[in-house]
Amino acid sequence: MRRGTRAKAPASRPWRIHISVESKKLRVSESYMRRLVGNVLSFVEKDVALPEVRELHVLLVNDARMREINFEFRKKDKPTDVLSFPQFTPRELRGGGRASDLKGPYLGDLVISTETTIRQAQEFEVSVRQELLRLVVHGVLHLCGYDHEGVPAREAARMRRRERSIRESIALEGS
């Protein structure tokens, strides 16, 4: 993408977005979450070559639950803001591999800490919804094979640019 251009959302596939709420501290409805996640997904469809992939699960938890999940899967004994659990490797998402190797329609799972979202919104002086958008974009990009940890600096920068482009595009749309 050239400098100064915004990401364009292609025609959206019919995503099934499952929302599970263990913590209601964000005070956003499930329908709002579904729209937000669906909007973000519309910007990453080109990263998902497999047309069968059309489902995602989002879990909203408190810091205590996030700490448990973070320790169980990453051996980090602290809460974090968002965790992504991709179903596919980046190669598989680009269409590599045999059809028999497909793992089903799920792109993956996102877990978001409501308490950390609120705390970070205050820290960054943004609204809770703006911080939630940042976390959803970040998490979805991880599901699509983007990374910023343990990768060359250019890969981390690529993810940051993509995040910024999607957030700016969504903000322009007024979501």
pLDDT tens digit string along 53-79?
A: 899 999 999 999 999 999 999 999 999
Question: 32: domain CATH number?
Answer: 3.40.390.30
Looking at the domain assignment, is residue 9 inside a domain? no
Looking at the domain assignment, is residue 8 inside a domain? no
Looking at the domain assignment, is residue 154 inside a domain? yes
Looking at the domain assignment, is residue 10 inside a domain? no
Q: Supply the range of the domain harboring residue 119.
A: 16-93+102-173
Helices (H), 13-113: 30-44, 63-74, 90-93
Residue 128 phi/psi, 5-degree rounding, is -60, -40
Looking at the domain assignment, is residue 128 inside a domain? yes
**What's the gap between Cα 18 and its chain centre?**
13
Q: Are 150 and 60 in contact (CB under 8 A)?
A: no
Looking at the domain assignment, is residue 119 inside a domain? yes
Give the type of residue at 173: E
Sign of the CA dihedral 125, 131, 137, 140? positive
Could you report the per-residue pLDDT of 72-100, keeping only the tens digit for each? 999 999 999 999 999 988 888 887 765 44
Q: What is the pTM of this model?
A: 0.89
Looking at the domain assignment, is residue 47 inside a domain? yes
Looking at the domain assignment, is residue 4 inside a domain? no
